[in-house]
Amino acid sequence: MPGWEIEDDDFLSIVRNLRGFMKEPHRLFLKLGIAAGVVAYSAVCWHSIEEIHYLKSFFPAKFTVEEAFYAGAIELMKVVIIGIPVLLIIGIFLYLMRRKA
């Protein structure tokens, strides 16, 4: 089929790119770690929002504004407690990526 032939220059450029990737596998690890940290932090935030929504949907008449404020404060504390280590790891990975560049 025309256009599907691999020329020598294309093959050599692919091999060079793979060789360059194998010299720096830590960058891929750092990028994956940052992506995993962002996903984990987003999941924690989403879970907190869903928990407040769950409480409001099952106790709508009994859930006052003050109780909603306290529930929000508790969920914020949970996000901070869980999120600080995740954000710290993301920060370390970003620092290492900057230093290795």
pLDDT of residue 52: 79
Question: Which comes out higher in pLDDT, residue 53 or 50?
Answer: 50
Question: Which comes out higher in pLDDT, residue 14 or 29?
Answer: 29
pLDDT of residue 99: 81
Query: With 90 as the cut, is the pLDDT of residue 101 above it?
Result: no
HEC assignment per residue over 1-61: CCCCCCCHHHHHHHHHHHHHHHHCHHHHHHHHHHHHHHHHHHHHHHHHHHHHHHHHHHCCC
Question: What are 61-86's pLDDT values in tens digits?
Answer: 777 778 878 888 888 898 889 889 99
pLDDT of residue 57: 78
